[in-house]
Amino acid sequence: MSENMSPEIAAWIAQRGLGELAESMGIKIISISGDAGVATMPAEGNRQPLGIVHGGAYVVLAETLGSMCATLAAGENRHAVGIEINASHTKSCTQGLITATCKAVNLGRNLATHEIAVEDESGNRLSTVRITNFLRDNR
């Protein structure tokens, strides 16, 4: 967690966790709110047989961040569930730290859409991901 993250958000992430898949991939949340966030993931350990980062790893990074942003946007006693995601991969990466930057496109009462730019350490765009989450009341 980032030292710039509020204690409340850090506690929420610590209590909630990132999920087994995201944790096994080395995903880290750097900053997060309902309308924006930043997360990282190492290339190492997330590569396919050709030695490049698997496109699905970009999607997992983006969906983890986008869904967490949407859950925060949903508000207290609510949560987000993904209903649509798409990704356009534009460049490959073989090593280093990958950064995802999430920005809200639309935050409504029942739907939240975020766009996530996935970049390498040099700032090259690797993938552009858009996720739409349905915002639900907790049961």
Q: Residue ranges of the domains in the chain?
A: 7-137
Could you list the pLDDT tens digit for every one of the 139 residues in the chain? 555 688 888 898 999 899 999 999 999 999 999 999 999 999 999 999 999 999 999 999 999 999 999 999 999 999 999 999 999 999 999 999 999 999 999 999 999 999 999 999 999 999 999 999 999 999 9
- Is 7-137 CATH 3.90.226.10? no
How confident is the model at residue 84, as a pLDDT?
98
How confident is the model at residue 1, as a pLDDT?
52
- Could you tell me the two tokens for 33? 């709110």
Question: Contact, 38 vs 68, CB < 8 A?
Answer: no
Question: Contact, 110 vs 79, CB < 8 A?
Answer: no
Question: Is 65 exposed, middle or buried (CB count within 10 Å of its CB: 0-12, 13-18, 19+)?
Answer: buried
Residue ranges with strand state E in 21-110:
28-32, 36-42, 78-89, 97-107
Q: Name the residues annotated as catalytic.
A: 63
How confident is the model at residue 5, as a pLDDT?
81
Which helix (DSSP H) or strand (DSSP E) does residue 137 occupy? strand 125-137
